[in-house]
Amino acid sequence: MNLEPSHFEYLLRLADNALILGQRQSEWCGHGPVLEQDIALTNIALDQIGQARMLLAYAGKVEGKGRTEDALAFLRDAGEFRNLLLVEQPNEDWGYTILRQFFFDAFNFFLYQELCDSADAELAVIAQKAIKEITYHLRFSSEWVIRLGDGTGLSHRKMQEAVSDLWMYTGEMFLPDAIDEWAKDAGIGPSLQAIHVQWNARVREIFKEATLELPESGWMQQGGKQGIHTEHLGYILADMQFLQRAYPGLEW
């Protein structure tokens, strides 16, 4: 078994989740429902793109082909991205954005708690820095899920709708494949089943307070981690990569 590509792939998954969600949230900048929340969501976007930079730079180093953070962000096509389907879903409205963030934060929080003790020392250092940010993200998104779920009739309805639309993208987070198994065996990443248990408990707790109902576990979409994405990712990249593609090889 060739260990190097797995290690690289594993890091790319972490990096791409942070990058693509950061890119999505940055679409809100200047368009938020209240000035304070515009600022708060931009903070999260900044954290996530910051995490993506550290992870991409490190992934490039592990790969050993001289690819920089920018080469990895701007010069890969959709099929080479390894992010979860959840994070590439469109913002739609503040409710969707918050719920997407909450589902992801709850996963990311328990994941990064474990990564702080990763056998990969460099990843552990990145995780120790990121966990402080992610702890805040989870608090922010949890509070908003509660506020919107238990707010007005309209906000409750909107949130419940977002739950039924986004739920099918949550299963993929916990579905281990060969790379997740490799990371677990190498002591680099945690058991996704264990994270799933923690995630379920947290989501139940917050939903209860938010007076939101969990859907019956139904069909779950998957493919992001293996590079089979939804149609949305292509457009994210068309925007994000435009200058680097139109004017290749330049400094900016």
At position 232, the amino acid (one-letter code) is: H
203 CB-side CA count, 13 A: 23
Is 87 a binder of other proteins (CB under 8 A)?
Answer: no
What CA–CA distance (Å, rounded) separates 183 from 168? Answer: 25
- Touching other proteins, residues 121-140 (CB under 8 A): none
Q: Nearest distance from residue 99's CB to other proteins, in Å?
A: 13
Q: Nearest distance from residue 21's CB to other proteins, in Å?
A: 13
Q: Which of 8, 81, 94, 169 binds other proteins (CB under 8 A)?
A: 94
- Touching other proteins, residues 13-32 (CB under 8 A): 19, 23, 26-27, 29-32
70 CB-contact burial (10 Å; exposed 0-12 / middle 13-18 / buried 19+)? middle
- Touching other proteins, residues 204-243 (CB under 8 A): 236, 239-240, 242-243
Total Cβ atoms within 10 A of residue 98: 25
Q: Which of 12, 55, 73, 127 binds other proteins (CB under 8 A)?
A: 73
What CA–CA distance (Å, rounded) separates 147 from 77? Answer: 38
Is 75 a binder of other proteins (CB under 8 A)?
Answer: no
Contact residues for 128 (Cβ-Cβ < 8 A; gap 6+): 116
User: Both tokens of residue 195?
Assistant: 């994270």
Contact 113, 135 (CB under 8 A): no
Is 40 or 124 the residue whose CB approaches other proteins more closely?
40
Is 74 a binder of other proteins (CB under 8 A)?
Answer: yes
Rg (CA), the chain: 18
Q: Which of 61, 63, 70, 176 binds other proteins (CB under 8 A)?
A: 70
Query: In angstroms, what CA-CA distances link 182 with 7, 51, 70, 84, 177?
Result: 8, 23, 27, 18, 9
User: x/- site string to other proteins, residues 48 to 67, per CB under 8 A?
Assistant: -xx-xx--x-----------
Q: Nearest distance from residue 114's CB to other proteins, in Å?
A: 26
At position 224, the amino acid (one-letter code) is: G
End-to-end CA, the chain = 39
Q: Which of 42, 135, 191, 221 binds other proteins (CB under 8 A)?
A: 42
Q: Nearest distance from residue 3's CB to other proteins, in Å?
A: 27
Q: Nearest distance from residue 66's CB to other proteins, in Å?
A: 17
Residues within the interface to other proteins (CB under 8 A): 19, 23, 26-27, 29-39, 42-43, 45-46, 49-50, 52-53, 56, 69-70, 73-74, 93-95, 146-148, 150-152, 154-155, 158, 236, 239-240, 242-244, 247, 250-252
